Amino acid sequence: MTTYTNRNEVPVHEKWNLSDIYPKIEKWENDYQLIEEITVSLKKFDGNIHDGHSLYEYLKQREELSFHFNKVYAYAMLMVDENTRETLPQSYLDKAKQLSVKVSAATSFFMPYLLSLDEETLRSYIKEEGRLTYFEEDLLDSFRYKEHVLSKEQEEILSKLGEALSVPGHTFGMINNADIKFGEVTNENGDRIELTRGMYSKLIEDEDREKRREAYKAYYQPYVQLKNSIAATLSAAIKNNVTLAKIRHYPSALEKALFGDNVPREVYENLIQTTKDNISPLHQYTRIRKEKLKLDEIRQYDMSVPLVSGVKQVISYEEAYETMLKALAPLGEDYLTILKEFKDKCYIDVRETPGKRSGAYNLGVYGVHPYILLNHQDDLDSLFTLVHECGHGVHSKLSSQYQPQITAGYSIFVAEVASTVNEVLLINYLLNNESDPEVRKHLLNHFIDQFKGTFFTQVMFAEFEMKTHDMAERGIPLNVEVFNQTYETLFREYNGETIIFDEEVKYGWSRIPHFYRPFYVYKYATGFASAIHLATKILEGDQETIHSYLEFLKSGSSDYPLELLKKTGVDLTTPDPIQNALKRFGELVEEFSQI
């Protein structure tokens, strides 16, 4: 595997090309200035929108501002991520962030103004100024919030409280990222060293059981020590959600969180119930794991170690790209043409270099094209990451191409569908083209573990959130004991009775940052289930599904997420997509146990 000591060593065709956004920094500065001018102009509309014409002028200028601002921000962010140690790009990003605050302040008057109108007045404005039809759906959708928006004075008070209300999440972030000190583990030389997160993710997969146990105990040590502080921050976060939902006249905190995507509560409850009704294959997998690892008893620190050892595939970037094109062939020539363009036109930043941001992401820049960040390691995980991010990339590319700016961005609810469909097509292709039983087992194990993490674990978290918010709504005090008991009960229900519980298991709730962004994790599970459903049909060669899926990728946010998925044949208001995904999981576990 090639390692690079700096960015200049990386071949040009493996680095993204930021000059597609701005050929030189002066152009960035010109746009920056333009945004400042438009911001000043937008402020003048406060109190001065009295007819269709002035409403259109405001919205048109705001959209123009948003077009330029997205480019300015994206350029600075991508530059920083190339090398986070450089100070000049950091200063551009700081400037962009300051600009964002100014833009927010200049446009904050609009929503209260809009909702102070009655619908009839708004419709008369649209009739009088024909060009408003472009914004019509967006404007009318805002009216859904009417009963949940307060008077101008109350809204101002709430916005001033915004920072205070975010304190629990911020406090947990500081504990979790800055202050936490994990326990010690023994390194190869027999020295005691402090555990880091990066080390933990490797050690918990180590074949040496004692190393796994030691890492597990060391990792949980600070969470158990800080249990009361973390319980207080989580309890405060939950109470804030519940209080805000009441103030804004929502039936519950859950319904407040689902409102934006227009998702009924039943979809959330149905996800949990259907999963629990079909949980036995997951329990079976725990039993298989215990058998394969030849353990008298299985514990939580045995749940991440790969069950197939010695299968280390080296997959170069070139080979990974070729494999992706073959695996995604069922999606048709047009899809593959876009993927080839990503590589040929330098949309992807491939290699890990010192100072480069870790991980991987896709960023769609409207009016330009998507940018994909990778840190390719020539292994199976990197192949999956490439295929995943290119799924997001094609979704961004097609939505931008076929949608006007106002509906080009897509909701998080549907985002994971495009990436996961690609992963399912990939695993299918790899299994179909692999005869070595050890490699096949390794692939199945990889996919089953991914299914477990993206689907079952997230459903369990979603149920934990629902139960704890429900208690807060009923006035039950939340503390360490309540969190421990709730989490431990759920962990048993989902993972089965085979696992022997260490004391640490029940503290699992204390390390999850997503719990400070309420009712968010369920979207991973619904997205994953939708993708399994679609990929199964695509692999059967169902032309209607292939066509409707490609149309879905072109739709951006032109409809509510559930409606967009319905057009592809996935109806999340019924148990079917969840049942189909769980049936597929059962088949994978069965095949794995047979090999």
Kind and range of the H or E run holding 363: strand 361-364
What is the chain's Cα-based Rg? Answer: 25
- How many Å apart are CA 426 and CA 323, to the nearest integer? 8
- Per-position b or e across 201-222, b if 16+ CB within 10 A of its CB: eebbeeeeeebbbbbbbbbbbb
Please give the backbone phi and psi of residue 285, each rounded to the nearest 5 degrees, phi first: -65, -40
Give the Å distances, CA to CA, from 423 to 95, 391, 400, 467: 38, 9, 23, 32
Burial class (CB in 10 A: 0-12, 13-18, 19+), 44: exposed
DSSP type of residue 186: E
Q: Which of 82, 214, 389, 416 is catalytic?
A: 389
Could you tell me the two tokens for 384?
A: 């999956």
For the chain, count helices (H), then strands (E).
26, 5
CA angle 462–464–468, rounded 5-degree value: 120
CA dihedral sign, ordered 185, 187, 193, 194 = negative
Return the percent helix, strand and coil in the chain, to nearest 5.
Answer: 70, 5, 25
Q: How many CA atoms lie within 13 A of 276 on its CB side?
A: 14
Nearest to 445 by CA among 593, 305, 294, 306: 306
- How many Å apart are CA 524 and CA 508, to the nearest integer? 19
Dihedral (C-alpha) 189, 194, 198, 201: value to the nearest 10 degrees? 80
Q: Find all residues with CB under 8 Å of 415, minimum gap 6, and list them.
A: 392, 395, 527
Type of residue numbered 540: E
Q: Find all residues with CB under 8 Å of 226, minimum gap 6, and list them.
A: 175, 180, 510
What is the CB neighbour count within 10 angstroms for residue 88?
Answer: 9
Instruction: Clarify whether 389 is annotated catalytic.
Output: yes
| DSSP-assigned letters across all residues of 425-456 | HHHHHHHHT---HHHHHHHHHHHHHHHIIIII
- How many Å apart are CA 504 and CA 122, to the nearest integer? 57
- How many Å apart are CA 296 and CA 290, to the nearest integer? 8
Residue pair 387/426 in contact by the 8 Å Cβ criterion = yes
Dihedral (C-alpha) 316, 319, 320, 325: value to the nearest 10 degrees? 170
Cα distance between the two ends of the chain: 31
Residue pair 156/80 in contact by the 8 Å Cβ criterion = no
Q: Point out the residues that are catalytic.
A: 389
